[in-house]
Amino acid sequence: MGAVLAIVSFGLPAWAALGGDIASVQADQLHMQGSLRTTTAASYTVHEIQGATGAVVREYVSSAGKVFAVAWQGPWPPDMRQLLGSYFEQYRQAAKAQSSVRIGRRPLMIQQPGLVVQIGGHPRSFSGRAYIPDQLPSSVSAEAIQ
């Protein structure tokens, strides 16, 4: 029973979605009970959420309070619908379109004017990142999102 409680207590919360605001991150923080680590850079804050199964999600929040990027790593892909929020359908359509361009098993690379999503890995280990290019703080390069 203790193990079950621990999983619930330290599991991933409902994440703030890409494009969401700081309020949802703070709501996450209330539910995290110590598994959230926040680091502050010059023009943004990183909220790192560590789950019980080894999954990690990092939310990048601008000084204006908007989630402009998310990055993740874990044994299986995260709930992309929750993580990408209003960008999920755009992601899904682009992913399906790309899989029909050229057959083959390879990392996913979606590069559109309003959305970049990059996913790689294999069963037991997936990682990726998504960001809104025109909302990246001017001092932040895409490579900083890991």
Partner 1 sequence: MRGALKFFLTVSTGLACAFSVGCGGSSSSSSSTSTTSPTQTIVTSGANVAPISVNGGPSGNYPDAGFASVTVCVPGTTTCQTIDGVLVDTGSSGLRILSSALTLSLPQQNASDGNPVVECLPFVSGYTWGPVQTADVGIASEKASSVPIQVLSDTDFAAPAACTDQGASSDTLENLGANGIIGVGLFAQDCGSYCEVVQTAAGDFNPYYECPSSTASCQAIGESLAQQVQNPVALFSTDNNGVIIELPAVSEEPAVSGSLVFGIGTQSNNALGTAAVYTADPTSGNFSTTYSGTAYPDESFIDSGSNAYFFPSTTITQCGSTSDAPGFYCPSTTQNLSATNQGANGASGTVNFSVANAETLFNTSDFAFGDLGGTFSGGFDWGLPFFFGRNVFVAIQGQSTPGGTAPYWAY
Binding status of residue 30 toward partner 1 by CB under 8 A: no
Taking alpha carbons only, the member of 123, 28, 113 closest to residue 38 is: 28
Q: How many CA atoms lie within 13 A of 15 on its CB side?
A: 30
Residues 6+ apart with CB under 8 A from 140: 41, 43, 44, 60
Taking CA atoms, 16 is separated from 48, 104, 121, in Å, by: 11, 33, 23
Residue from 2, 124, 134, 138 in contact with partner 1 (CB under 8 A): 124
Residue (105 or 138) nearer to partner 1, CB: 105
∠ CA(60), CA(88), CA(95), 5° rounding? 110
Binding status of residue 2 toward partner 1 by CB under 8 A: no
Judge whether 59 and 81 are in contact, CB under 8 Å: no
Site string for partner 1, 41-80 (x = CB under 8 A): ----------xxxxx-x---------------x-xxxxxx
Stretch that binds partner 1, among 19-27, 39-47, 62-70, 125-133 (CB under 8 A): 125-133
Residues in the chain: 146
Binding status of residue 8 toward partner 1 by CB under 8 A: yes
Binding status of residue 29 toward partner 1 by CB under 8 A: no
Binding status of residue 103 toward partner 1 by CB under 8 A: yes
Q: Under the rule (CB under 8 A), what is the footprint of partner 1?
A: 7-8, 10-15, 51-55, 57, 73, 75-83, 88, 92, 95-96, 98-109, 111-112, 118-129, 143, 146
